[in-house]
Structure 1
Amino acid sequence: MSKLKTTLAHHFDHLHAHPEVSWEEHETTNYLVQELEALGLSPKRFKDMTGLYVDIGKGTPRVGIRTDIDALWQEVEGEFKANHSCGHDGHMTMGLGAAALLSEANLTGAVRILFQPAEEKGNGALALLDQGVIDPLQYLFGVHVRPLIELPEGVHSPALHHGAARMIRGTITGIEAHGARPEQGINAIEAAAALIDALKRIWIQPGRSGSIKMTHLQAGGTAANIIPGKATFSLDCRAQENDTMDLLIEGLERAIASVETFYKVSIDYHEGAKIVAAQVNKEAASLLQDAIIETVGESHCGPEIISPGGEDFHYFSFHKPELKTTMLGLGCGVTPGLHHPEMTFNTTYLEQGARILASAAKLAVERCEEGSP
């Protein structure tokens, strides 16, 4: 076993055993700072929040690598706890590995490695944008472990085309009444059922991918003879492109307006998490493809992946269209699937991921130097 693989195994074991949820990654941040300083680097914590970044090389960094550091809060074997079931422990491990490799490389420019909090909340990337730490970058590479249904073990993708996602919560307010006099009330459950039916009638063009559905509904108490006057609900909205998401939301607004009018209820709603779809840059994906081939060979370079899942990484290029971004899909045998409380993957591929990211960063630095005046 190589020295790097041994070191990465140690990092992973520690990070996996000490998960922390979004915006509370304090000890995780401390560990990352400690390990980067042990490499002789000078990491900088973000202002007024968890997470950090480190610059490697000389000059202003124009190439970046971003990893995420938070865990999910979920039930595991009957107990609710923080749990790394999305692979962020592996992402951090690869970030530390890339830092170690780049610190020993003869870079002609600088690379910035970002350890971002709160990806699971969907607003960590926006916080980094507000901090200004993305501003000098021309290229930015991300990474995410992938399930077996997408990539075989040891096969890696140069681009992940995540979809857009919005989580919406709302309240339907009618009028409560006695079950014997339903005409005196307005049944919130019936209005919710009408809204569910209306959502099914939101059409998008054939060839486009999108869905909107109710995933939570709660109304009434334990008494069967009371017409419930209030219901709360949640909606999960997904689309492969940002403009398709806009069409779904327009349809939702029409559906809500029609139910309000017909049932004489009020429906108040707001967006919780909001994720934009990927806008993969062809040049960045090409550099990452070259890095995969250079590291593990052409036979281990897979196709670009289209995924219905969401990732707040794509806010970077959404708000900075000039930024060239793509994400490495690491084929490491994720099973049973991402966000499953008992998710596992083959951690031996983390070394390959670290080497691919470091190689892509070096290639991008050289491309930046070639394009310098």
Structure 2
Amino acid sequence: MIEKYKSEHLYEWMVAVRRILHHHPELAFEEVETAKVLMAELGKLEIAYDYAGPGNAVIGKLLCKNSAAPVIALRADMDALPGTENTDLPFASCIRGKVHACGHDAHMTMVLGAAALLKASPPPCHVLFVFQPAEEKGGGARVVLESGALQGVSAIFGGHVTHHYRVGEMMVADGVITAQSDRFKIHIKGKGGHGARPHEATDAIVITGLFIIAMQTLVSREINPVYPAVVTIGMVHAGSAPNVIAEEATLEGSIRTTLPEVRDHIHRGLRRMAKAMGELHNAKVDLDITQGYPPVVNTTRETYIAYRAAEKVVGHAGLMTLDHPSMGSEDFSYYLQKIPGCYVRFGARRHENEYIPLHSPEFDINEEVLKVGSAFFDEVVREAAQDYFS
């Protein structure tokens, strides 16, 4: 373990940058001012960058003299979330309805910190600093891949802050890290009528209630309990007045799975239930399933590289294992479908026993994690360069 993080001297600068980013959150594909801050900081570091305008990534480039050297990419996400911040921080969001409640402000700052370290002591490889748009919504990773900016990249590394661990703890694990995420929308059309004469109508709300309960049996009674799966109804829209039987209802939700066969079974089950529910209640039930982010699957060689780097930064005692994949999702998965790499997690609790989930209006980080993340990203580039040259 490095007794004093090599990024210690950058801490005040990183805190200042992180707070600027936190204070001015921008949603997916709208990260214009965020990109300006990043480009300004890269400029101060004398690191060249490419930027094709709003909706695209800012990609810093640190090139070495050996043109045949491997290319290592570090990724940070730029976008914030819709929502309201409830932290009372002096640098809390100044933009109504937008908030950095998922730590992306910290991720950007960590990669900037690593850029400063790598610029000061260049590694024997090329490095790309990928500040990506739209992780939360829209799959901005695909935009980066489709741009061709990552052609020739040997490995890519990314990470996420979390309150599951304390500062000075990191999770590095091989294989499946996050779940497949799919969205679905169900539209039920019955027959409207007066609340006093239900026999003349087909109540879309009653059908909706039955459908919600029935859907939960897909996981509780049809999926092997040792296989993770979640079916969530997040939105229901129906009705117009207390004394009117609703003719139509719409449900929207998500499916989280880690195994393809489980995912297929739930998809088939939803279609089966939609058809049966329509026939049972003499209603029209339409189901639309949209594929979301694939699972994040770390590659073995790059996981070992990340493990060695993390051990140098936080020590063996600071290394956490992953007993079960997270049921969350991450578009870093798109990179890993094309490029070997590893996605890690950084402990960021503000206080010893405080746990605040991501996306909460109260979410914030212990800014000491910026030292850990920047030191890790610096070290993982050096470990990767050494590994690929050996």
Shared fold per TM-score greater than 0.5: yes
C-alpha deviation, 1:266, in angstroms: 2.2
Range moving further from structure 2, 156-165 or 336-345: 156-165
1:114 aligns with 2:120: no
Q: Could you tell me how far apart the structure 1 residues matched to 2:260 and 2:35 are?
A: 33
Q: Could you tell me how far apart the structure 2 residues matched to 1:369 and 1:271 are?
A: 45
Structure 1 moving runs of 4+ over 6 Å: none
1:154 aligns with 2:154: no
Q: Could you tell me how far apart the structure 2 residues matched to 1:357 and 1:56 are?
A: 14
Q: Could you tell me how far apart the structure 1 residues matched to 2:112 and 2:147 are?
A: 22
C-alpha deviation, 1:356, in angstroms: 0.6
* Cα RMSD after superposing both structures: 2.2
Q: Could you tell me how far apart the structure 2 residues matched to 1:81 and 1:325 are?
A: 34
Residue-by-residue CA offset, 1:81-126 (whole Å, 9 max, x unaligned): 2111100000000010111111122322201111011111041112
Q: Contact 1:54–1:112 at 8 Å: present in 2 too?
A: yes
Q: Could you tell me how far apart the structure 2 residues matched to 1:104 and 1:139 are?
A: 22
Range moving further from structure 2, 183-192 or 347-356: 183-192
Aligned partner of 1:83: which letter? V
Residue in 2 aligned with 1:355? 375
Residue-by-residue CA offset, 1:295-331 (whole Å, 9 max, x unaligned): 232222221363222111112223x2xx212112101
Q: Could you tell me how far apart the structure 1 residues matched to 2:144 and 2:246 are?
A: 44
- Give % identity: 27
Aligned partner of 1:217: which letter? V
C-alpha deviation, 1:158, in angstroms: 1.6
1:282 aligns with 2:296: no
1:208 aligns with 2:217: no
Aligned partner of 1:284: which letter? E
1:369 aligns with 2:389: yes
C-alpha deviation, 1:49, in angstroms: 2.1
Match of 2:61 among 43, 55, 58: 55
Match of 1:264 among 276, 282, 294: 282
Range moving further from structure 2, 199-208 or 95-104: 199-208
Q: Contact 1:25–1:51 at 8 Å: present in 2 too?
A: no
Q: Contact 1:216–1:235 at 8 Å: present in 2 too?
A: yes
Aligned partner of 1:275: which letter? Y
Match of 1:131 among 147, 157, 160: 147
TM-score normalised to structure 2 length:
0.87
Aligned length: 364
Range moving further from structure 2, 27-36 or 256-265: 256-265
Q: Contact 2:28–2:138 at 8 Å: present in 1 too?
A: no
Q: Secondary structure at the match of 2:84?
A: strand
Residue in 2 aligned with 1:9? 15
Residue in 1 aligned with 2:81? 72
Match of 2:46 among 12, 36, 40: 40
Q: Could you tell me how far apart the structure 1 residues matched to 2:156 and 2:208 are?
A: 43
Residue-by-residue CA offset, 1:246-303 (whole Å, 9 max, x unaligned): 3222211111121122223223343467122121111111111100111232222221
What are the ranges of 5 or more consecutive residues in structure 2 without an aligned counterpart?
1-6, 88-94
Q: Contact 1:24–1:50 at 8 Å: present in 2 too?
A: no
Q: Could you tell me how far apart the structure 1 residues matched to 2:260 and 2:44 are?
A: 42
TM-score normalised to structure 1 length:
0.91
Q: Could you tell me how far apart the structure 1 residues matched to 2:374 and 2:86 are?
A: 32
Q: Contact 1:162–1:308 at 8 Å: present in 2 too?
A: yes
What are the ranges of 5 or more consecutive residues in structure 1 without an aligned counterpart?
none
